[in-house]
Chains A and B, each alone.
Chain A
Amino acid sequence: MIMTVTTLNVATLKAVKNAVIGNRTAKGHYGRDEMFVSRLVECINDPPMSPSDPEGTRTNLRIEAAHILASLSYGSPDALRMLLRLNASQALLYAVSTFKPSDSVPLKAALTRALRALAAAIADTVGPSQWGLSPTVSDLRPEAKAALDNLFQPDILDVYIPLLNDPSPQVSTAIAQLIASSVRDSTHRTKVSDWCPPGERTVETKGKRGWEKREPTKSPSRQSGWIARTLTTLLRQKDAKLQEAVLSALASLTKENEPLALRLARAPPGQEPVLSTVLSLCKSRNTDLQLAASLCATNILRAPPAPKSHLSYISPADQATAITIMHVLNRIISLDAASNPSKTKACFILYHLVTDHRLFCQLAYERNCLVQVAQLVTSITPLENTEFDEDEPESVSRLREAALTVVAAIAMFDNDIRTAVTDEFKIIPVVQASLSHQYVGVRYAACQCARALSRAVAALRTNIVDTGLGMSVFQLFMKEDEDRQVMHAASTVVCNIVTDFSPLRSTLIEQGVIARLVLLLNTHDSALRLNALWAFKNLLYKATPELKRQVMNSIGWQEVRHLFEDPDHRIREQAFHIVRHVADGVDGVDLLFSEMGGSEVLLGHLAQAIESDDDEDVVLQAVFVLANMANSAAHQRSILADSRILKCLRDCLIDAKVEIRRPAISCVLELVRQNPRSHRELHEAKIDSTLRHMCEHTLHVSASPTTLRLGGGRQMGAEDDLEVQDKARQALHWLEHNADMDV
């Protein structure tokens, strides 16, 4: 069926169209033919005509060319590569920009459809994936990113966004679908949300003072206005495909977009908010519509940041919305007649609803979401033989990925839920089996489940150790050529199972976890490096001196010093935290001093961090290191001899937040208690007067540990935290006692 095309006419184009639609091989074949694709792209705006051509040929040529371009966009990386290289999106945009009222509906529909298909393919290449993990990162990504960014330039938005109001539903649907699939990052999201038509723009630019310059797309009173209003109006039309496209567009635009989400969730008195319309569409009879509406409602609900504590308040309205969505999704998940793709989407939407949100996780559990998903994943996973069918349809693999992802999310916080997952629903065998699945998304999701389960201290032995799940994840972690994303997930589990109370700690060490972690530390991947350090930190907590030596030698003492100055503050924080754990215990402190280049170098690093690091968490860990070091009598003199460090301590006592003041005062107390002569150095550093200030003006405070701090320092230099106050008093006592004893 694949032929060489010499002349481009309606007949040959139709033949090519029928050859490529559905046929990935044919798409690749034609897609690699640069001459053909180039002529095809030209055909969009300037089709080859001859005088004998009948009426309407020009339009028909353009229509068929558009259909072929659309089909070439998906399913064939080679074809997409050619389309990017030949700037097909520009040709389509130009065609769309030159729409005339006299243009036929089929022509406009074909061109907008092609634009949508190409934009979606480009967005998929750039990522992030909208449903689950993207299996590979394409080498086309840089070119695709440039093409995608271009789609959101102000003058380009002017070309296609107004088509949302086109009288033909095929055109408006295509544009809504374009927005739905292409808007994936916050910059693009803002540009589209804030867009308004040129007419409104110039009016606003005049403003009160006509000479004031305003940005073309920022019209303050209309921010997030036009798009929201237009899409809302379209939503109320009775065309199911259009409604589905609009809901998807709204979903993409409201994701992590609090201003727009609030606008849609609220309404002036007497009017119904858009969210109500969306929720009623959740209950339509059409599954696709239900899913699109559920995703939209979910994104609106989750746009504001998740509450930090489990004691936070959820409004009854929000709770009702969440429950409605869960009910709809549950139904789809448990419905036999629902297709695998539908169930997959339902699972992912549920995941977006509950992820990182303790209260919604709890709600989902109470609403039996976990039951349904667990039943689903158990039903599609063969447990008799551990080998998965190689011919398993992709749709089943994706469904498994989606289901395990939801299970992991729901079980992430609460022990009762974790217990249900393991004991009641017996998910562990499924997770075990899935760790060796051929599809990367399934392995990733299985690791996330293992991670959720490994967070339970009490259940660690039974769930992670006795079932062998921990070691299975570890095997995955040790694999040489495993996917980076799966490695990341597996490493989070490793962090949890190298803790001091984990029965697996010694096994893991024997089997080479340290060397592997060092390898990860030396990659360029910041997420993997961070996890490696985190694992080291856990490994070093309450470790024996031999283990400490082994770990630190493996990492390299020089390397640790480099990490103190890493550009990423999270890395610096972990580096100091590691050293803090090493310094826990006299042997550890000795080790530090001998291996870190001596006291000057070591204290120099600490002083540098405490004085000038922007990040409070880094400072905190550095102070903890100091505090631990002060417990070692042998090295206290070094600390006392270092005036810079003493100054740091003093500054902490005066200025820092309470979490830092506590270890700082512990450090001072230890120094004072064991060193009768220390009062001289401490006097020179003015720490003694600071202590006096802290003890003098005691304010009546509540026992709450988080007392309000006013401005940069405390009022009158007084200490408001009871623990710090108490230690300060003790330190002062020792200081004065020592001073009295001295001549």
Chain B
Amino acid sequence: MDYLVIEGYKSAAEEFSKEASLDAPVDFDSIENRMNIREALQRGDVGDAITRVNDLNPDILDTNPSLYFHLQQQKLIEFIRQGKIADALQFAQDELAPRGEESPEFLAELERTMALLAFESSPMMPTSVSELLSPAQRLKTAAEVNAAILESLSQGKEAKLVGLLRLLCWGEAMLEERADLPKLDLNDGTFGERTPR
């Protein structure tokens, strides 16, 4: 349940709650809000995402300069992805340059993003720059927003299930040095033979 709530799967959480006769730890509407924001980011509509975050809690972006910067950075990336170079340049000048002035620690990131414009579709573009265009970048930004919202509600940032799995893998790694043991196959959830090192 915790996993479904934190990751924002509202209808799944609702069904699960009915089936397992569990009370939801939070109001399902708040899950829906976070889901909408995540979806907006995944389709590249950063402006909508920002509006929704501000409607949900106007404090978040004001008290999280790093998050705000990443959202604006994402917006610039989306302009570039859509080929709207003039818009991108205008936006970078009006919105991102001031961020860099206000907080010099964002300058490096800003430069990396501007490099996208410099390289255009050149095959010489280094991976560190090209990965900004990947869907993974959108997911990264979305995850950051999700975490910030959860923190503002004083809920856990990471699904406990994820934490447990991590602990499990670490524990197995520790034990493996001293004994044979059946390891959990994370792909299909079965316990298999120990793979030789």
B51 within 8 A of A: yes
Instruction: Assess the A25–B54 pair: CB atoms within 8 A.
Output: no
Instruction: Assess the A21–B61 pair: CB atoms within 8 A.
Output: yes
| Contact partners of A240 in chain B: CB under 8 A | 154
Instruction: Assess the A75–B62 pair: CB atoms within 8 A.
Output: yes
Instruction: Assess the B62–A22 pair: CB atoms within 8 A.
Output: yes
How big is chain B's contact interface, by range? 20 to 34
A1 within 8 A of B: yes
| Contact partners of B134 in chain A: CB under 8 A | none
| Contact partners of B58 in chain A: CB under 8 A | 17, 21, 67, 70-71, 113
Instruction: Assess the A21–B104 pair: CB atoms within 8 A.
Output: no
A210 within 8 A of B: no
B76 to chain A, nearest CB (A): 13
In Å, the complex CA distance between A239 and B152 comes to 12
A550 within 8 A of B: no
B103 within 8 A of A: yes
B94 within 8 A of A: yes
Instruction: Assess the B54–A1 pair: CB atoms within 8 A.
Output: no
A23 within 8 A of B: yes
Chain B: CB-nearest residue to A14: B51
How big is chain A's contact interface, by range? 20 to 34
Instruction: Assess the B154–A286 pair: CB atoms within 8 A.
Output: yes
In Å, the complex CA distance between A172 and B39 comes to 33
| Contact partners of A71 in chain B: CB under 8 A | 58, 62
In Å, the complex CA distance between A67 and B65 comes to 18
Q: Which residues of B from 59 to 111 have beta carbons under 8 Å from A?
A: 59, 61-62, 64-65, 68, 94-95, 98, 102-105, 107-108
Given known pairs A21-B54, A22-B68, A391-B108, the reply for A74 and B62 (CB within 8 Å) is yes
Chain A: CB-nearest residue to B97: A25
In Å, the complex CA distance between A25 and B94 comes to 10
In Å, the complex CA distance between A391 and B65 comes to 15
Given known pairs A71-B58, A75-B62, A391-B108, the reply for A18 and B98 (CB within 8 Å) is no
B50 within 8 A of A: yes
Instruction: Assess the B54–A18 pair: CB atoms within 8 A.
Output: yes
Given known pairs A22-B68, A24-B98, the reply for A394 and B62 (CB within 8 Å) is no
In Å, the complex CA distance between A462 and B94 comes to 54
A76 to chain B, nearest CB (A): 10
Given known pairs A1-B94, A241-B154, the reply for A25 and B102 (CB within 8 Å) is yes
Pick the residue among A17, A74, A75, A392 that contacts B54 (CB under 8 A): A17
A393 within 8 A of B: yes
Q: Which residues of A from 269 to 295 have beta carbons under 8 Å from B?
A: 286, 288
In Å, the complex CA distance between A71 and B95 comes to 17
Mask for A383-413, Cβ within 8 A of B = 1, else 0? 0000000111110000000000000000000
- In the A-B complex, list the 8 residue pairs whose CB atoms are closest, starting with the nearest: A22-B68, A240-B154, A393-B105, A22-B61, A25-B98, A391-B104, A67-B58, A21-B61
Query: Can you list 21 residue pairs at the A/B interface with Cβ under 8 Å?
Result: A1-B94, A2-B94, A14-B51, A21-B54, A21-B58, A21-B62, A21-B68, A22-B65, A22-B68, A24-B98, A25-B102, A71-B62, A75-B62, A113-B58, A240-B154, A241-B153, A244-B154, A288-B154, A390-B104, A391-B105, A393-B105
Other A-B pairs beyond A288-B154, A393-B105, 13, CB < 8 Å: A1-B94, A1-B95, A2-B94, A14-B51, A17-B58, A18-B50, A21-B58, A21-B62, A21-B68, A67-B54, A71-B62, A240-B154, A391-B105
